Amino acid sequence: MPNFTVNLEITRNEIRGLYMKSGFAGKSFAQASRWPLKKDQALAEQLVRFLEERFAEARVVNLNAPYEAIFLREFTLPFTDKDKVKDVLPFEIEATVPYQLEEITYDTLSVIRGNETKVIVAGCAVDLLLPTLKELQNVGISIGSIYVPPYALYQFAMEHNLEEAMVYFIERHTSIFLYWEKGELPHMRIMPLGYERLISSLQRELSVDSQLAWEIFQRLSSFNYAEILEGDFLKHVKMNRKEIPAVRRVVEEFREQFLREVQFFRQTLQVSKEDVPEYFFCDLDHCLLLQSLLGKSNLVVFPYEETPLAMFPKEMLMAMAAGYATQQRKGLNLLQGKLRKEARVKTTLRGKYFFILLALSFLFFVLSFYFDFRYRSRFLQQKQIEASRIFESYFGMAPTSDNIVEEAMLLVEKERRKTEIFRKFFTGEKFSQTLVALHQNLPVGIGLEIESIGYDTKTLELSGSLPSFAALNELKTALRNSGRFDGVESSREKSMPSPQGNRIKFSLIIKPKEKKEGAL
């Protein structure tokens, strides 16, 4: 059975799950699901039920730290020694959070700049995470990591070529602001300000139920801030004109709150560039109203259609971002310290059986390999002895190498060559017979002077001289027409001076006819 890893985002009103797999071909997302939370049931119980019904084969999950419980801190330490940073940092953290160190889990990112070390710390209270972890482990589901949503969103943006950016993200209950320059750590801020506050204000001001307030907000989201103030939205939204001032007042109040948080975030930054691109992220399909609240003409809505998120609802943005963040070796993972020890201690019985079975399988493999190796070694040794005996009985001597087959093939090849030499010697034309045939077929009176005769079983080489090229042609013609030779070719023909005048020196390559097999 394959092991599935599910990235989870737990918000105040629902659980979102996204199954991701990764390999040589990259990351791929296969299944997404959402589960509305009920206020009268424990979160851990609902989470287990969600996984059992929607992701039954899940064995590992990546959880988000609760939005409302995350703390983010930035420190600049006036030294670069890693051991010193590790020793000093806990005291710096404890002085800035309302917890004791043993009550929190945290992780850090650091970068050295000159003589300083810049550190980002993200953490959460342990007690807020333990109940969920224990409930999951009781049903055999292990925790892969506890990711930090702002950092996950940063990794998602980096994976899609945003090397530097100012990012504004708003969802139902939370807003996240990010800023980073190329090669630097991101500045992150998370706050409990989402469009739920706008929906609640509409519900209160218009005296409607929560469902109708949500529907009104969805219709208003297709208009920008200026159209809301001017009342243009009335052409498309059924609403009493007496309610327009209340809508304008609600939108204006929310805009002031949102811009106040944005302004505070920008004031805390040390922005060294004016041309850093600004992007707007939202988990709604229609977010023109929220985007226009910032009042920025250069603000770009992140192109979701160019990412795998195009296949899923935009509410899956953070769960997908977790898939990228948890694949990083150097990221923020709150499964640290006491929390990691608790997770290790609470290994399920099914997990123990799995590891025991795995160990026994490995032991069985090693033993079977060992006995098989011994059997095959003994078998090969016996075959080697038998092959040596056969070799010695056939060739009359013991083999001189371990590769008996190759040595036997070489000896057989040598014997074959000897046999071929003897065969050619006994079946080939004899030298005396070739000379007689040559003498009988030499033309008379052409002035031939023979200097040397060379002979082997295949050819006879005759070197000499003649008074003219015509005499040479007459000699070759006579030998060819004799019927005793298969070929007569001349070479090295040249005219040389002599006491009798110029003579033609030459060499004739004469090939006697082969003697047929069985002929005497």
pLDDT at 1 over 60: no
Question: Which residue's entry shows tokens 């750590």?
Answer: 185
CA distance 134 to 44: 9
Residues 6+ apart with CB under 8 A from 1: 57
How much is the pLDDT for 472? Answer: 84
Residues 6+ apart with CB under 8 A from 67: 11, 12, 149, 173, 174, 190, 192
Q: Which helix (H) or strand (E) holds 125?
A: strand 116-125
Instruction: State pTM to two decimals.
Output: 0.64
Strand 485-496: give its sheet, edge to edge.
449-455, 460-466, 503-512, 485-496
pLDDT at 514 over 50: yes
Three-class SS of residue 83?
Answer: helix
Residues 6+ apart with CB under 8 A from 329: none
How much is the pLDDT for 24? Answer: 47
Q: What is the mean pLDDT of residues 253-268?
A: 90
How deeply is 151 buried, as exposed, middle or buried, from its count of CB atoms within 10 A (0-12, 13-18, 19+)?
A: buried
Confidence of residue 233 (pLDDT cuts 50, 70, 90): low
How much is the pLDDT for 345? Answer: 41
Which backbone phi and psi does 449 adopt, to 5 degrees? -120, 120
3-state secondary structure 413-467: HHHHHHHHHHHHHHHCCCHHHHHHHHHHHCCCCCCCEEEEEEECCCCEEEEEEEC
Confidence of residue 96 (pLDDT cuts 50, 70, 90): very high
Confidence of residue 150 (pLDDT cuts 50, 70, 90): very high
Smallest CA-to-CA distance from 314 within 291, 289, 284 is with 284
301-340 per-position pLDDT tens digit: 888 888 888 888 888 889 888 888 887 767 889 998 777 7
pLDDT, greater one: 4 or 43: 43
How deeply is 38 buried, as exposed, middle or buried, from its count of CB atoms within 10 A (0-12, 13-18, 19+)?
A: exposed
CA dihedral (121, 124, 125, 130) in degrees, to 10, reads -130
399-418 per-position pLDDT tens digit: 887 777 788 888 888 888 87
CA distance 326 to 337: 18
Residue 76, phi-psi category: left (phi > 0), alpha (psi -120 to 50), beta (remainder):
beta
CA distance 369 to 357: 18
pLDDT at 473 over 60: yes
Where does 1-42 show beta strands of DSSP type E? 4-10, 14-23, 26-36
173-191 per-position pLDDT tens digit: 999 999 998 888 899 999 9
Contact 74, 119 (CB under 8 A): yes
CA distance 86 to 73: 15
Look up residue 293 and give its DSSP letter: T
pLDDT, greater one: 174 or 476: 174
pLDDT, greater one: 423 or 504: 504
Contact 490, 503 (CB under 8 A): no
CA distance 104 to 146: 13
Q: How many residues does the chain have?
A: 520
Got the DSSP string for 300-364? EE--GGGSGGGGS-GGGHHHHHHHHHTT-SSS-B---HHHHHHHHHT--HHHHHHHHHHHHHHHH
Amino acid code (one letter) for 344? R
pLDDT, greater one: 97 or 242: 97
CA distance 363 to 359: 6
Question: Which residue's entry shows tokens 């985007």?
Answer: 291
Where does 183-294 show beta strands of DSSP type E? 187-191, 278-282
pLDDT at 234 over 70: no
Contact 97, 104 (CB under 8 A): yes
